[in-house]
Structure 1
C-alpha cells in the first residue's frame, strides 16, 4: 500500500477506533507531527513505523512498502548527505536548527490560542447543521462538507451524502439536542467527539460519534464522520 492510500487507510482506522491523532501517536510512541504527515500523505513512512501503527489499530491487512520507496518521517533526504561535511556546513545546520526550534516554540503557543477559535467555529457550524436539518435545508448542510468527504467510511462524496441526509429527513428526522464532548486541534486538522439526541421514524434515539474537520483555504470542512446509535 502506497501513499496517499496508506494515509487515508490509517486515518479511517484511527477514526473507527475513536482515537485522536495525539492518542494514536502516544500509543505508537511516535510524534504527533509524524502521524499528521503520514495521514496527509506528506511522507512515506518506514515499514517498521507502519507495522507499529497498524498493530495499535488492530489491522492485519498490511502489505510492506516497496523497499526503494521507504523514507523516514522526518523527510530526511539521505541521498543528499555528504560524507565529507565541512565546518561551514555544520555551522549553517546548527543555526538552522536553532531558528527552527524557536519557530516551533512560538508556533506551539499560537496553536493553543487558536484552538479556542477552532472550537467556536465548529460549535457554530454544528448549530447551523441542526437548524438546517430541522428545516430541510440539505444543500446548506452540504456546504460544510469537502467534495470527497465520507460518512461511516462508505458513503463518500457530496452526492451520496446528500441522498443519505434527504432520506433521513423524508423519514421525519429531527435533531433535538447536539452536544460537543471534546475537540482536539492540531495544525489544519480538528477531531470532534460528540453526542446527540434525535427523532427518526417516530422514535427517539441517542447517537455518539467522531467528526474529522480539515482547514482548507481558510475554512473548516468535514472530511470524515463516523457514529453509532443506541
Structure 2
C-alpha cells in the first residue's frame, strides 16, 4: 500500500481525489488533509506547521503535496517545499511545481491555459509557469461552470503542446480522456498532476488510461 498526503488550504475539497483513487487501484490511498495555512508562503517553521505535519504523519503518508497556490518565483516555492519536507519528515512538493514537472515529463514547453479562477490566481500561475521556463501560447478565461470543451478549444493554439486547467474547483477526472481525444493534446489538471507528482515522489509509476496521457507515458530508458 502506498499512502499519499495532500495538504489542502481550507476545508477538505469535495473533488476528484476519490475518483482518482478508484482509477489508480486498490494499493494506493489518497488522503486530503485540510489546514488553516492559506498560502505556501506561510510554510514557515512553527507550531502551526508542526501540528499540520503531525496530522500528515498520522495518515501514514509517504509523500505530501501542497495543493494551494504558490509564489510567482519557482525558486521560492522549492525553498518553502523543503521546509514542508523537513517538518513532515517525507518528500514534498506543490501543485504549481507538479504542473511544471508534468509538462517536462511530456516534453511540452509551449502550453495553453484555461483559467476559471480569480484573476490574481491566474496571473500568479502564469507568471510561475513563465519563470519556470514554459511559454504560454494563450489563456482562455471563463467561470467554473462554463463549458470546458468550448473553453479548451478557445485556449488551444496550433503550437500548444499541452492544455493546462489549473483551477482546483474544476471536476476534471471524468473528462480528461474525452478532452484529450477532442483536442489531440495532453491535458493537465490540478488534481491529476498533483496525484502524479505525489506518486513521482515515491518512485511509483502507475498506468491509468482514464487519467490521460500523463498516466500512460512509458518511462525513458537510459541505454
Please give the TM-score of this superposition, normalised by the length of structure 1. Answer: 0.25
More strand by share: 1
Q: Tell which has more relative contact order, 1 or 2 (C-alpha 8 A, sep 6+).
A: 2
Structure with bigger gyration radius: 1
Please give the TM-score of this superposition, normalised by the length of structure 2. Answer: 0.25
